[in-house]
Amino acid sequence: MLFNSVSFAIFLPVVFILYWLIFNRNLQLQNFLLLCASYFFYACWDWRFLFLLVFSTLLDYFTGLKMTESENQKSRSFWLWLSILINLGFLGVFKYYNFFAGSFTQMFSNFGLNVNPWTLKVILPVGISFYTFHGLSYVIDIYKRRIKAERNFIDYSLFVSFFPLLVAGPIERATHLLPQIKKVRVFNYHNAANGLRQILWGLFKKIVIADQCAEFANTIFANSASYSGSTLVLGAIFFTFQIYCDFSGYSDIALGVARLFGIELLRNFAFPYFSRDVAEFWRRWHISLSTWFRDYLYVPLGGSKGGTWLKVRNTFIIFLVSGFWHGANWTFIIWGFLNALFIMPSIIFKTNRNNLEIVAKGKSLPTLSEFLHILLTFCMVVFAWIFFRANNVTHAFNYLGRIFSRSLFSIPSFDVNRPQLLETIALIVFFIVIEWNGRENQYAIETLTKLKSRNYRLAFYYALVLIAFLFAGKEQQFIYFQF
């Protein structure tokens, strides 16, 4: 069930009405309803993998209880590692087994040895990377005595599988979400209206920007050998906006839907393409994953407490693991390596905390220096996204090879509907203007609530709805569902 589908447009109001009108006087019934809705939502993808989600939930629930009940450190360590190994084992089998099998086959073939390992012919369970990390953070926090195990199985299960975040995040923490699940929730019109606005903006980003950019990006990447370097640059830029509007659009919808039920999820994006350096970009891109790796991998490795070499080592480890988390392909690992390389100057010269506030805060325009830094950072990000989007390493290098050729200075051209191309570019410009004007808010159009004229606000909302309606109908899957 996609957020941008007719089925979800029916599903959400039904759950909302039952939640606030039928079960509003009983918190446990509300949580049970949300849990049932979440399992139904997940089963719509493939009901067979629902058993894997339930098993993962049971595993972490019981290991959490065992660690809380035990004062013996060896026993606590046993239950912790049992949970980690089983969770990562399932993730490894479904997501990475075929990758390693193929890599070993290639390695042996280079030495003239013919090896044919057994491979799995199963699809990747949607959301497995996300709900696995929910459970891992929970058991690790219990082990570190930051929290105690949740004894109410319904509440814990809802924390793991709350449907807005189930398949593509944000990656929640028990310290943030569980207290909200256990707290009585009262309907708040302001929060609900705010949630609807965020859902609208998320749908606009997905349907109008991401899906339109996808058509051109897919065409150019699929036929990269036939196009000039300038056209390939245009294709990389289209993909850059596609992945941002696709993923942040999903996150906006998820946060908005959660607000309808009185729950605040972690923010996942903070206008990353307005960043002045790569360090700032990673504080603003996929925030829940970045902070997860920071807290559960980077800090345990020593973080930034040691010397420069330790910081460099830990940074490369984080980005390589982050790349590998995204998928079983060497292109993702190279993407992670490039981002680590790009961030190195700020780590070495200790400037990685220079840009903590949003750019040009309180101003209409950035300074020339800020603009040039934003442009340079954007170009570096676009370069790295080429590896992320490419089918394989050879495709990525061939793509870059054609970019850095004489054809880079030619006029971009390819066989497409030119009016549609110009229309898409105009929409991207419109989108950038709205994002820039709303960059100091949680999401771009939240700033419209400050307009005194209610008619202006409504006119803008209706315009977004109309534009989204005109581009609707494709119901394209969100990119991060594959991770």
Amino acid identity of residue 9, one-letter, is: A
Cα 13 from chain centroid (whole Å): 25
pLDDT of residue 447: 81
Handedness of CA 44, 49, 54, 57 (dihedral sign): negative
Question: 28-46: per-residue pLDDT in tens?
Answer: 999 999 999 999 999 988 8
Cis bond upstream, residue 125 (ω within 30):
no
Question: 264-301: per-residue pLDDT in tens?
Answer: 999 999 999 999 999 999 999 999 999 999 999 999 98
Question: 367-415: per-residue pLDDT in tens?
Answer: 999 999 999 999 999 999 999 999 999 999 999 999 999 888 888 877 7
Whole-angstrom Cα Rg for the chain: 23
pLDDT of residue 46: 82
For residues 389 and 220, the answer to whether their CB atoms sit within 8 Å is no
Round to the nearest angstrom and report the end-to-end CA distance of the chain: 17
Average pLDDT value for residue range 180-206: 94
Which tokens is 314 given?
């830990």
Closest CA to 260 of 9, 13, 21, 445: 13
pLDDT of residue 125: 80
Cα 139 from chain centroid (whole Å): 22
pLDDT of residue 401: 94
Instruction: List, by residue number, the catalytic residues.
Output: 326
Residue 455's contacts (CB-CB under 8 Å, 6 or more residues apart) are: none
Question: Which sequence spans correspond to the domains of the chain?
Answer: 6-186, 190-276+355-482
* Band of residue 307 on the pLDDT scale cut at 50, 70, 90: confident
Question: 67-122: per-residue pLDDT in tens?
Answer: 999 888 999 999 999 999 999 998 888 777 665 555 555 555 555 555 555 555 66
* Band of residue 127 on the pLDDT scale cut at 50, 70, 90: confident
Half-sphere exposure of 190 (CA within 13 A, CB side): 1
Which tokens is 249 given?
């659009």
What is the number of residues in the chain?
A: 483
Does residue 293 sit in helix, strand or coil? Answer: helix
Question: 58-77: per-residue pLDDT in tens?
Answer: 999 999 999 999 888 999 99
pLDDT of residue 58: 96
Question: 419-461: per-residue pLDDT in tens?
Answer: 888 899 999 999 999 999 999 999 999 888 777 778 888 898 9
The per-residue b/e assignment along 123-149, b for 16 or more CB within 10 angstroms, e otherwise, is ebbbbbbbbbbbbbbbbbbbbeeebeb
pTM, rounded to two decimals: 0.92
Secondary structure tally for the chain: helices H, strands E: 19, 0
Cα 266 from chain centroid (whole Å): 12
Q: What is the mean pLDDT of the chain?
A: 89
- How big, in percent rounded to 5, are the helix, strand and coil portions of the chain? 70, 0, 30
Residue 199's contacts (CB-CB under 8 Å, 6 or more residues apart) are: 252, 253, 256, 257
For residues 331 and 392, the answer to whether their CB atoms sit within 8 Å is yes
For residues 204 and 464, the answer to whether their CB atoms sit within 8 Å is yes
Closest CA to 90 of 119, 45, 40, 53: 53
pLDDT of residue 136: 94
Place of tokens 């805060």: 361
pLDDT of residue 313: 92
* Beta strand segments in 193-286, E: none
Which tokens is 142 given?
């219990």
Q: What are phi and psi of 396, to 5 degrees?
A: -65, -45
Cα 372 from chain centroid (whole Å): 27
For residues 83 and 136, the answer to whether their CB atoms sit within 8 Å is yes
Q: What are phi and psi of 303, to 5 degrees?
A: 55, -130
Average pLDDT value for residue range 200-225: 93
> What is 436-458 written as a DSSP string?
HHTTTSSSGGGGGGG-S-HHHHH
Does residue 339 sit in helix, strand or coil? Answer: helix
pLDDT of residue 153: 96
pLDDT of residue 293: 94
Which tokens is 273 given?
């393409």
Closest CA to 293 of 141, 137, 77: 137
For residues 132 and 94, the answer to whether their CB atoms sit within 8 Å is no
* Band of residue 237 on the pLDDT scale cut at 50, 70, 90: very high
Place of tokens 């309907």: 187
